[in-house]
Amino acid sequence: MTPVQRAILAVLLLGNGVVFFDLFHGEASRHFDARGFEQQLRQIFPEAKMLRESFPDASLLPDDYFFFHIHEPTEFAGAALLSTYVGYYPIQGLGTSSPHDPRVCYPVQGYALVGEPSSVPIAAEDGGEVAAASRLIVRSDALEDERVVYYWVQEQGKLPSSTGARPGALGEIWNRYRSGRSDLIWVRVELLQMDPSKPLNADWQQRLYKTMQSAAKAMR
């Protein structure tokens, strides 16, 4: 065997070792209290008639997810909840499922993006830790429908601190190796806001913040 062949073999063995370590380590770190989170969500949005449904296309989704579609949403503080999607991804980079960016999903459903998503700081009432969510406006002229979408990723049982670009596959593996956690939750809250140009009011900010806190607690 030539030196080049030995080097290639070493790289392949090392890569396989990293993949298998990531796989088994990811399974060991998995924990998501889906039922507890669902109960918390119903308390955060008590006025909404939340009916759990199957997502229109579940073939690319993780095993543990739920999608609440709101029928006849009740307006609250200038906005009404339309749907909530939560997907739990125990292992990143190895499975067929991965978080779906709303910038890709909504156009497929016939919605146009109104501008680029913006980062929105979400603070607790007691002035504690500030979290971050992405805000996106989508519109369908054919359906005469305009929606405001808030979405974020939570990892390691923590509040989302930023909405920046996620690392690549190798970066994710390295982060998981250092943290001891491989799982994440992808959350999307969809609102019918009476005036999408206005910032989210304090009542709805607290609802989003409580949703983030509940998601973090469910991952521990």
CA angle 138, 208, 65 (to 5 degrees): 75
Identify the weakest region by mean pLDDT among 26-30, 85-89, 147-151. Answer: 26-30
Taking the model in full, what pTM does it have?
Answer: 0.77
CA quadruple 115, 121, 124, 129: dihedral sign: positive
Instruction: Give the integer Cα–Cα distance in Å for 67 and 60.
Output: 14
Contacts of 217 (CB under 8 A, 6+ apart): 33, 36, 37, 40, 157
CB 214 within 8 A of CB 42: no
CA quadruple 96, 39, 109, 198: dihedral sign: negative
Q: What is the pLDDT of residues 9-61, one digit of tens each?
A: 555 555 555 555 555 554 545 577 888 888 898 889 887 777 666 555 555 56
